[in-house]
Amino acid sequence: MIHNALLLRIRLYFCCSFNIMNLSDHLHHKVFQIIASVASEEKTPSYVIGGFVRDLLISGSSSAPKDIDIVVIGSGIEMAEKVRDAIGEEIPLSVFKNFGTAMLKWGDTEIEFVGARKESYRLDSRKPLVENGTLEDDQNRRDFTINALAISLNPGDYGELLDPFGGVKHLEEKLITTPLEPGSTFSDDPLRMLRGIRFATTLGFSIEMETLNAIHQYRQRISIVSQERISDELNKIMLALKPSKGFLLLDQTGLLEIIFPEFHQMKGVEQVNEQRHKDNFFHTLEVLDNIALKTDDLWLRWAALLHDIAKPRTRKFEPDIGWTFHAHEFIGAKMIPGIFRKMRLPLNEKMKYVQKLVQLHLRPIVLSQDIVTDAAIRRLIFDAGEDLEDLMTLCEADITSKNERTVKRHLRNFKVVRQKINELEERDSIRNFQPPISGDDIQKVFGIPPSRPVGIIKNAIKEAILDGEILNNFNAAYLRMLEEGEALGLIVHHELKREKD
Nearest to 433 by CA among 472, 460, 467: 472
- By beta-carbon proximity to ligand CTP, the closer residue of 94 and 422 is 94
- By beta-carbon proximity to ligand CTP, the closer residue of 189 and 441 is 189
Contact 266, 288 (CB under 8 A): no
- By beta-carbon proximity to ligand CTP, the closer residue of 7 and 194 is 194
Sequence-distant (≥ 6) Cβ neighbours of residue 132 within 8 angstroms? 115, 116, 117, 118
User: What's the sign of the alpha-carbon dihedral 251, 253, 255, 257?
Assistant: positive
What are the residues binding ligand CTP (CB under 6 A)?
Answer: 50-51, 67, 69, 142-143, 147-148, 189, 191-192, 195
Q: Compute φ and ψ for 72, nearest 5 degrees.
A: -120, 150
Instruction: Tell the smallest beta-carbon distance from residue 175 to ligand CTP (Å).
Output: 16
Nearest to 114 by CA among 138, 143, 148: 138
Instruction: Tell the smallest beta-carbon distance from residue 119 to ligand CTP (Å).
Output: 9
How far apart are the C-alpha atoms of 284 and 266, rounded to whole Å? 9
Instruction: Tell the smallest beta-carbon distance from residue 51 to ligand CTP (Å).
Output: 2
Contact 306, 339 (CB under 8 A): yes
- By beta-carbon proximity to ligand CTP, the closer residue of 193 and 464 is 193
Q: What is the DSSP letter of 22?
A: B
Instruction: Tell the smallest beta-carbon distance from residue 453 to ligand CTP (Å).
Output: 58
Note the residue count of the chain: 501
Q: What is the DSSP letter of 160?
A: B
- By beta-carbon proximity to ligand CTP, the closer residue of 189 and 308 is 189
Instruction: Tell the smallest beta-carbon distance from residue 150 to ligand CTP (Å).
Output: 9
Instruction: Tell the smallest beta-carbon distance from residue 469 to ligand CTP (Å).
Output: 56
Task: Bin 292: left if φ > 0, else alpha if -120 < ψ < 50, else beta.
Answer: alpha
- By beta-carbon proximity to ligand CTP, the closer residue of 82 and 198 is 198
- By beta-carbon proximity to ligand CTP, the closer residue of 70 and 388 is 70
Sequence-distant (≥ 6) Cβ neighbours of residue 441 within 8 angstroms? 481, 496
Instruction: Tell the smallest beta-carbon distance from residue 405 to ligand CTP (Å).
Output: 43
Of all residues in the shown chain, the one whose CB is closest to ligand CTP is: 51
How far apart are the C-alpha atoms of 359 and 377, rounded to whole Å? 16
- By beta-carbon proximity to ligand CTP, the closer residue of 45 and 50 is 50
How far apart are the C-alpha atoms of 54 and 168, rounded to whole Å? 9
Three-state DSSP state, 82: helix
- By beta-carbon proximity to ligand CTP, the closer residue of 65 and 332 is 65
- By beta-carbon proximity to ligand CTP, the closer residue of 192 and 245 is 192
Q: Which residues pair with 49 in a beta bridge?
A: 69, 150
Instruction: Tell the smallest beta-carbon distance from residue 136 to ligand CTP (Å).
Output: 14
Which helix (H) or strand (E) element contains residue 109? strand 109-115
Across the chain, which distance is largest between two alpha carbons, in Å? 96
Sequence-distant (≥ 6) Cβ neighbours of residue 91 within 8 angstroms? 84, 104, 105, 106
Instruction: Tell the smallest beta-carbon distance from residue 253 to ligand CTP (Å).
Output: 17
Instruction: Tell the smallest beta-carbon distance from residue 232 to ligand CTP (Å).
Output: 9
